[in-house]
Structure formats: structure tokens, C-alpha cells
Amino acid sequence: MTLLCAGEAFEDLVFFSLDRLPELGEEIKTDHFTATVGGGAVITAVHAARLGVRTGVISALGDAAVARLKKEGVSVTNLRKPREPHAITAALSTGEDRAFVTFNGVNAQLEGRLAKALGRPIPPKPAGRRPSHIHLCFYPHDCAQWTRLATRLRQQGVTTSWDFGWNEPLTSDRGLTALFDALDFVFVNELEARLYTGEATLAAALPHWRQRQCITIVKQGERGATWIAPDRDIHAPARTVRVVDTTGAGDAFNAGFLAAWLGGRSPAQCLAAGNKIGAASTRQAGGI
């Protein structure tokens, strides 16, 4: 395969097009609901496969997720053992904001299993073929372990990217910057770009990201996205769409970006592809 997505998977229960989020103790009723599969690894893999990329997922998956991924043409490595409960997320979404409640289930044991599976040597590719890319999307509890793994993958000719999401405890791990530098791409949104640098504004955070050896992609929603590298910044504006639900839009962006990058496109074209797929994903409920 060309792209392997590794991370958490969920059964997603999505309540969308809400006028507002409920107050504490309040119940809001809606006719807008969908049940689907989600999680960064699943959403990115499905969108990439639809764009023609040969894609696989390694995760702990429920039966519905396995069936849907196979239907989408995504190869599956399922790390969930029999009778282990899969993870479930309830998402409440307005046009501008969202909130989540998650039952973690088997995902509590997933990181160790991913490290073991991804730590196995990858067979060499035939001459002339582009090396594989591994996209990771979960909270790493041991950055040093994943830095070593990413370094070994690079030595095997495998490129890597990571979408860490919003994880405040991660900021106290002293090995975080070394992990950034071991990756080819780091995907963050504006709030995450500030969180992982300890800065109050995006403008103040950007110099920190320019010092990193990885390329940082800052997803800025309706303001587009920016490629941050030590030698240059490149910005691409977003498309204007009528938003139904933003669940999974960032993961869809990652798919569009990586599909373009694996196809040899320029940085500006990669950003534009990410913006296009991310925007399109907001026009219907659910990440896929």
C-alpha cells in the first residue's frame, strides 16, 4: 500500500445542525442524527482511498468499521481482540462549534499494540517505487518510544506524519519536540499550534514551528491552511461552503493533502487539495 493510517477508531453518534449546544442539565431534541464510523485513522484512510490512494488502516475496530472500510477499498489490520469493547463517541455539532463524549473501550490498550505492529521491519520496495507513508493520529504517551520508531522508519525509506489533536498532557513531555523533528509532517489546527508552543497567539507560535525539522501544516478552517518550514511559509485560502457538520474535517484535510503529496504535487497544490477535501466533508454529517 502507499498510505497506512494508524490510530484510534470509534463508532460515531453524531447529532448535527444544532442551533446551540445544551447547557448543563438541559436536553435539546433534534431530527438531525447519523451513526457512522470515525476516528482520525478511519476518516483519513477512507477519504484517501476515494482519491485513488492505495490505503490501509491499523487500529482496534468494531465490526461495523471493518465492514465499512472494506467496502471503501481500504485494507484492514484489526488489533481488537474478541469480546473487547470498541470505542464510541457522541458528537454534538452546530455550524460553528462541537462537543464530544467518548467511551474509550479497547483504545486504552491500543498504543502498545500499534508500537509493536509498526516496529516490525518493513520489507524493501522494488526499485523505482515511492516508499510507503505512515500517518499517525492519536495521543502518544511515550514520545521517546515513537521518536525511535519514526527514526527507524525514515531509515527504511518510510515517511511519516502525525496529527496529535488537542492533548494538554502532551505539552509536559520533554520528548515532544524530538518527536516533531523525527517526522516529515505535523498537522495542527490554530489552537493546537498555540498549545504545543505555549503561546497565546498564532503569530507568536509560528516562529517555534519554523525551528522544527518537520514541515508543519496549520489548518485554519475558513481561513485556509499554511505550510510552515524553516525556509518559507506558504498559505492557501479555503473554499466557501455551507457547513452542515465539521466532524472529521481536519482528518479529511489530511487525506487530501497526503494524496496530493504522495502524487508529487507542489506545497501549494497539497494545501489546496487539503482545503478542498476538508471543506467538502463539512457538507454532510459525519467524518466520512
Domain with 236 in it: what CATH number? 3.40.1190.20
Percent of the chain with pLDDT over 70: 96
Query: Among the listed ranges 121-135, 156-170, 233-247, 255-269, which one has the minimum average pLDDT value?
Result: 121-135
- Residue 274, domain member (yes or no): yes
pLDDT score of 213 more than 50: yes
CA atoms within 13 A on the CB side of 279: 18
Task: Give me 198's grid cell.
Answer: 505555549
- Residue 127, domain member (yes or no): no
pLDDT score of 163 more than 90: yes
Query: Among the listed ranges 40-44, 57-61, 239-243, which one has the minimum average pLDDT value?
Result: 239-243
What are 256-270's pLDDT values in tens digits?
999 999 999 999 999
Rounded to the nearest angstrom, the gap between the alpha carbon of residue 257 and the centroid of all alpha carbons in its chain is 11
pLDDT score of 285 more than 90: no
> Are 209 and 231 contacting, i.e. CB atoms less than 8 angstroms apart?
no
Q: What is the pLDDT of residue 127?
A: 47
What does the alpha-carbon distance between residue 171 and residue 287 come to, in Å, rounded to a whole number? 27
Q: What is the pLDDT of residue 120?
A: 80
What does the alpha-carbon distance between residue 224 and residue 275 come to, in Å, rounded to a whole number? 6
> Are 234 and 227 contacting, i.e. CB atoms less than 8 angstroms apart?
yes
Q: Which element (helix H / strand E) includes 114?
A: helix 110-118
- Residue 27, domain member (yes or no): no
Q: What is the pLDDT of residue 61?
A: 95
| Residue ranges making up the domain that contains 151 | 3-21+32-118+133-281
Report, as an integer, the average pLDDT of 202-209.
96
On average, the pLDDT of the chain sits at 93
- Residue 126, domain member (yes or no): no
Report, as an integer, the average pLDDT of 178-195.
97
- Residue 152, domain member (yes or no): yes
Report, as an integer, the average pLDDT of 279-285.
90
Q: What is the pLDDT of residue 167?
A: 93
| Total domains in the fold of the chain | 1
pTM reported for the whole predicted model:
0.91
pLDDT score of 7 more than 90: yes
- Residue 15, domain member (yes or no): yes
Percent of the chain with pLDDT over 90: 82
- Residue 183, domain member (yes or no): yes
Report, as an integer, the average pLDDT of 20-26.
94
- Residue 235, domain member (yes or no): yes
Residue type, 73: G
Report, as an integer, the average pLDDT of 133-162.
96
> Are 138 and 110 contacting, i.e. CB atoms less than 8 angstroms apart?
yes
What are 94-135's pLDDT values in tens digits?
877 888 899 999 999 999 999 999 988 665 555 444 449 999
pLDDT score of 8 more than 70: yes
